[in-house]
Every structure is written in C-alpha cells, then in structure tokens.
Amino acid sequence: MKFKDFLPVSREEMVARGWYYYDFLVVTGDAYVDHPSFGAAVIARVLEADGFRVAVLAQPKWTDASDFTAMGRPRYAILVGAGNLDSMVAKYTAAKKTRSEDFYSPGKKAGLRPDRASITYSVRAREAFPDLPVVVGGLEASLRRFAHYDYWDDKVRRPIIFDCKADLLTYGMGETATREIARRLSKGESVTELTDIRGTAFIAHGADAARFPLVECASFERVTEDNRAYAEANMTQYDEHDPVRGRAVIQAVGDRVLIVNPPAMPLTTEEFDRVSEFPYMREPHPSYAEMGGVPAIEEVKFSVIHNRGCFGACNFCSLAFHQGRMVTARSHASLVREVEELTQLPDFKGYIHDVGGPTANFRRPSCQKQLKDGLCVGKNCLTPEPCGNLDADHTDYLLLLRKLAAVPGVKKVFVRSGIRFDYLMLDKNGEFFPELVKNHISGQLKVAPEHCIDSVLDYMGKPPNAVYNRFMDKYVKLNERYGKQQFLVPYLISSHPGSTLTDAVALAEYLHKTGRQPEQVQDFYPTPGTLSTCMYHTGIDPRTMESVYVPKTPREKSHQRALLQWRRPEKRRLVIEALKAAGRDDLIGFGKRCLVRPDKNRGR
C-alpha cells in the first residue's frame, strides 16, 4: 500500500518529514484539499510522483510576501494558480455583487483570495524570490491566456502572463506541461529555454521565437479598439485549440508578442489512471477542521471522475477552451479500484454520488476521424445537427456503472453530473436510458436545456428544443414504467446573447405550459475566453461574424431572469413590469395561460 500523507503546508511539516530543502512551491487560491478534483492537489502529486519535493501554499496572505518566504526558497520554481474557479467568478455574482460564501474556503468564509488571484500571487512570488522561475497555470490562466474581455472591468485586458510577470503560463489540464517544465529545470535548463513545450505560453520579442507552425491573430491594441478584430481573433484561438492539428497562436502586445504553443495531447487512459490513483488523502488539510472544514469536498468526496474533455462545446462554457473537445476516459479497472478505496472510508454509507466529469455520458471520442485529423474546424459534433460521423454509443459507460455497482459495500451508484441529453437520444442500443432511470438517479436528474427558443439555443451551441421535448417525454414514460417519481432539474440561462425580452416571455410560457418551475436559473455570466462572452462584448457572433442582439441593461436582465421565476412572490412586481414592457399584458390575469395576477392596487 502506498504511504499516504498530506503534502507539507508549513516549515514545521517539512521538518517533520525530514526535509531541509524542497523543489517546488504550489500556490493556490483554494484551501488545500488533497483530492483529484482539485487542480493544485493533482499538479502537486504529479510532481511528487516524479520524485520532487513539493510544498503547498494555500490562500496565502497577499498584502506582502511573508507567506511566500515562510517555507524557504524552493530549488526550482513557484507554480501559481487561482484555484478551481476563476477568482472573479469565485468572488462575485453575475450582478457583480460580492458573494457571501466561498465553498472552496474554510467554513465557507468569503474574502480569503484576492481579485485576479493569479496576478497578485505571481507578483508576490516574484517579490519573494526574484531569481526563481514563476509559472502560472490553472483555469484562470488558461481562460485568460490571450487578450480577453473582462466583465468586471468592462474592458479588454492584456494576456494574463503580461500582468503576472510570470516566465511561463500553462493552460489546459497541465500535467504533461508541468512534468516537462520540472524535468528540464531540474536538469539545469534556464526557464528562458523552455519555449517548445506544448500547452504553454510565453512572452517573446518576435515571432521568430516560435518553435511550432504558427498563425497570428489581431494584436491586443487592435482587439481593444475593433470589435470585429476581437471576434475574429477569438475564433482563431478556438479553432487552433486542438492537440492534433492546432498551431501556435501569436498575439502582439506593444513591442512584444505572446506565443501560445499548441495544446498538449490529452492524457492516455494509462496516464489518466495513474494521475487519478496517486495517494490522495481525499480530505481537506486537517488544519481546517476547527474552521468548519472545506465544504467543496462534500460534493465530490464519494464521487469518481471517469472522463475529461467535452465535444458538446456549449458556447458559454469554458470547458472547450480549457480541457478541450477531445474526450478521454479512465479504465474500468482503475475506477473499480478507486471505488473499492472509497468503501473503506469510515463515513462511507454505500452510495457513490457520481460517476461523471464535464459531461457524464461522454466516454469516447465523438468519432474515430478526430484521432488522426483532430476535431473539425468550424463545426460542432452535436449542433446544430448531429454529425453523421458521431458515434453515440453508451455501452462502455453502462458496463462501467454495472461494475461499480457490483463492488462489495456499494449499495447504489448515481449519476449526478449533467448528461448531454441530445447525445443520449442518439444512442442506437437503447439499453442505457432505461437503466439510468431504473438504477442510477437519486431522485432527480440534472440536464441543461438552457432555453426553448431555437435561435437562442443556436447562439448557445445547444440543440433545438424539440430534442429536449423528446427526451423529456421519454424520461417521463420510463419513470412511469419503473414506478419511479424522479424529477428533471433543468438548468436555464437568462439574458444570453441573442435572447430578447420576447424570447424570455416565450420561455416562461413554455415552462408554465409544461408545468416546470426551474430551481436553477443563471443570469448569463460573461466569463473570460468563451464564444458567448465574445458575443456579449462585441455584439458579433464569431462563428458567422453576423451581429447578435445582447441584453445588457440591468433592467432588462432583471426582467428576463424574473420571467423564468414568475411564481416567486418576490419576483411578482418585476414579472408584471417585464410583461408590460414586452407588450404581453394578456399574460397578466386569472386565466390558465396567465403567468401572474394583476396588481390589486394599481390594476394591470
């Protein structure tokens, strides 16, 4: 059995291990949770497995460099990440209000990470150890690697590496690039020589520093001034984010250039197994116990990750630009071993909460062609219509669920990650959907129709609404067949680019007609790097370069959101305002079609 312990988070813990030096300092904006769902833990364990000594600095004080120097100088580099979320998303709501809780912090305490944590931490790391390489990575760096629209500043910001003043940036999942960086630094190479590593970006004085075939996108200065140039650049960046056919992308910033090397190849099944089975403690560091623990662990503690990547590629989702569209999966044997380990935990009750990932029911590449040629440029696998080459086979996933359910000590195996219902409806075998309903739903199933108007769904990168209706009808019939009372939990987005107030009213009518009152409604959140954020900022659909309507005023956004929650008493006044603004007074009244009753004091 592998020896298991938390990685050191203090000088005292280093000395207790007999360490009087260490190699890498991993800095994270989250609390230290030693679990494969937390990126900092994965990177730290990857380096440990390669024989390096690694210390973790979680949520350091950022007003000075004292926390960065407390464990002493690492031999090779400081690796900086903001945490599992973009730090601005972690701290602020879509309405730009400060969140009252942070589930990635001890006791859900808010305010333990700075705004734009990657920048602040990198600057402090440089201040602490001016001569050491600083490498910035993780989701925040990945999504902000190019010049990007920042919702909170309401302007285009430089590629994040320029503000971090880091030597290198890693993007994507990061294991392969990090291992190569560590190996070469430990062999004595200068960080300035590490310009040929896939999945990294760096600053140079000219395009001649590029080590891969390259393509240029519009400069920072140009995309700041020209919305059309921004949209074209965003599309180029997406098109080249492919590990098979992708080229390096360069973007000028002043008198220097950003060079973003092609993505690293996804981990093979064997590599994915290895990374997932490192000796994680699967718990928050014990120092957080008196602070209330770290709530983010509760959702994943008894869950397993079986896949990476998502060829669903919703336009508002960051996954396509981070993990990529190529799906890879772990072996059955590896997942069985992990579940067997979970059954030995003292608080395991017999239930595997999730066998999932970005999209639970993706377990194979969308087609065999992409393995040789990469994913198609300018085309999605599922939308607006499924590709003829799509291989929608759930057999392997179903066999996996059966194997995990048969592990001694397991009572039930559930699927709680969102499933891609349009992919499910293409399954020709027909076994998976009935078995999912019969055995693997814990009272409710998460799905993401997002809207009901096809034009809006197209801007979102989602299938037409008729597909969801067919799925919903079949789901209801299967529940009736098996005597189940299991609900669908539909995720919906209000105020997405392309959605007018009329569209929002139509969605409210649709929900009312189908008897659905959604609990999960998210006002569109323009997160860095996504195609939908490009639409929000520019008013241009980068796929077609045609104009798109964008609801931006706080009043309209509040109206669109209220319409999707029309039954809530506190939303009543906004719903009446929205219906009047849309010219739909016919929905204010007492008839079956009406969404809200008239205001008694003010009439209709």
Query: What does the pLDDT read at residue 42?
Result: 98
Could you give the dihedral angle defined by the CA atoms of residues 88, 91, 95 and 97, in that order, rounded to the nearest 10 degrees?
Answer: -130
Closest CA to 564 of 574, 554, 550, 551: 574
Estimate to the nearest angstrom the gap between the alpha carbon of 220 and the chain centroid: 25
In angstroms, the CA 356 to CA 311 distance is 15
Residue count (the chain) = 604
Topology given in CATH for the domain delimited by 11-202: Rossmann fold (3.40.50)
pLDDT of 3 > 60? The answer is no
417 touches 453 (CB < 8 A): no
Query: What does the pLDDT read at residue 1?
Result: 29
- Could you state, in order of their start, the residue ranges of all structural domains in the chain? 11-202, 482-604
Q: Model's pTM, two decimal places?
A: 0.94
In angstroms, the CA 27 to CA 251 distance is 28
Structure tokens at 418: 């969102």
pLDDT of 518 > 80? The answer is no
Percent of the chain at pLDDT > 70 equals 99
In angstroms, the CA 113 to CA 102 distance is 10
pLDDT of 2 > 70? The answer is no
In angstroms, the CA 157 to CA 149 distance is 6
Beta strands, E only, 385-438: 412-413
Pure H helices in 92-145: 117-128, 138-143
pLDDT tens digits, 449-481: 999 999 999 999 999 999 999 999 999 999 999
Q: Residue 159 carries which DSSP code?
A: P
pLDDT tens digits, 61-111: 999 999 999 999 999 999 999 999 999 999 999 999 999 999 999 999 999
Helix (H, G, I), strand (E, B) or coil at 305: strand
523 touches 494 (CB < 8 A): yes
Query: What does the pLDDT read at residue 285?
Result: 96
β-partners of residue 591 are none
Under the banding of pLDDT at 50, 70 and 90, the label for residue 517 is confident
β-partners of residue 98 are 92
pLDDT of 602 > 60? The answer is no
Query: What does the pLDDT read at residue 411?
Result: 97
Query: What does the pLDDT read at residue 604?
Result: 45
Query: What does the pLDDT read at residue 601?
Result: 62
Q: What does DSSP say about strands 33-34 and 283-284: parallel, antiparallel, or unpaired?
A: antiparallel
Helix (H) or strand (E) holding 157: strand 155-157
Query: What does the pLDDT read at residue 563?
Result: 95
Q: Which residues of 65-96 are buried (b: 16+ CB within 10 A; e: fewer)?
A: bebbeebeebebbbbbbbbbbbbbbbbbebee
Under the banding of pLDDT at 50, 70 and 90, the label for residue 4 is confident
Structure tokens at 190: 């200068």
Closest CA to 560 of 571, 570, 569, 548: 571
pLDDT tens digits, 430-453: 899 999 999 999 999 989 999 999
Helix (H) or strand (E) holding 398: helix 395-405
Q: In the predicted model, what is the mean pLDDT of residues 220-242? A: 97
Angle between helical axes of 432-439 and 395-405 (0-180°, round to 10): 30
Q: In the predicted model, what is the mean pLDDT of residues 525-553? A: 97
Q: What does DSSP say about strands 487-494 and 444-450: parallel, antiparallel, or unpaired?
A: parallel
For the purposes of burial, counting CB atoms within 10 Å of the CB of 580, is it exposed (0-12), middle (13-18) or buried (19 or more)?
middle
280 touches 48 (CB < 8 A): no
Q: What is the largest CA-CA distance in the chain?
A: 78
pLDDT of 10 > 50? The answer is yes
Indicate the residue type of 524: F
Query: What does the pLDDT read at residue 515?
Result: 81
Cis peptide before 286, with omega less than 30 degrees from 0? Answer: no
Cα angle: 535, vertex 541, 543; to 5 degrees: 130
Under the banding of pLDDT at 50, 70 and 90, the label for residue 371 is confident
**Non-local CB neighbours of 444 within 8 Å, separated by 6+ positions:** 486, 487, 488, 489
Helix (H, G, I), strand (E, B) or coil at 489: strand
Query: What does the pLDDT read at residue 274?
Result: 97
Q: In the predicted model, what is the mean pLDDT of residues 250-264? A: 98
Closest CA to 42 of 51, 317, 32, 337: 32
Helix (H, G, I), strand (E, B) or coil at 437: helix
Query: What does the pLDDT read at residue 599?
Result: 78
- The 10 Å Cβ neighbour count of residue 504 is 27
Under the banding of pLDDT at 50, 70 and 90, the label for residue 489 is confident
pLDDT tens digits, 553-576: 999 999 999 999 998 999 999 999
Query: What does the pLDDT read at residue 520?
Result: 72
249 touches 215 (CB < 8 A): yes
Query: What does the pLDDT read at residue 514?
Result: 87
461 touches 314 (CB < 8 A): yes
Closest CA to 518 of 448, 421, 417, 604: 448
Query: Which range among 35-39, 113-117, 219-223, 516-520 shows the weakest confidence by mean pLDDT?
Result: 516-520
Closest CA to 54 of 173, 182, 181: 182
pLDDT tens digits, 269-304: 999 999 999 999 999 999 999 999 999 999 899 999
pLDDT tens digits, 320-331: 899 999 999 999
Q: How far is CA 326 from CA 223, 308, 574, in A?
A: 29, 8, 43
Structure tokens at 33: 């949770």
Phi then psi dihedrals of residue 115, to 5 deg: -60, 140
pLDDT of 585 > 70? The answer is yes
Indicate the residue type of 470: R
In angstroms, the CA 365 to CA 505 distance is 38
Phi then psi dihedrals of residue 137, to 5 deg: -155, -165
Check the CA dihedral 331-335-338-343 and report its sign. negative
- The 10 Å Cβ neighbour count of residue 40 is 28
Closest CA to 524 of 546, 542, 547, 503: 503
Indicate the residue type of 194: L
Phi then psi dihedrals of residue 259, to 5 deg: -120, 115
In angstroms, the CA 183 to CA 179 distance is 6
Query: What does the pLDDT read at residue 407?
Result: 98
In angstroms, the CA 406 to CA 2 distance is 25
Estimate to the nearest angstrom the gap between the alpha carbon of 465 and the chain centroid: 24
- Which of 159-163, 365-369, 381-385, 517-521 has the highest average model confidence (pLDDT)? 159-163
Q: In the predicted model, what is the mean pLDDT of residues 131-156? A: 97
β-partners of residue 565 are none
Q: How far is CA 171 from CA 126, 135, 265, 314, 458, in A?
A: 20, 11, 12, 19, 28
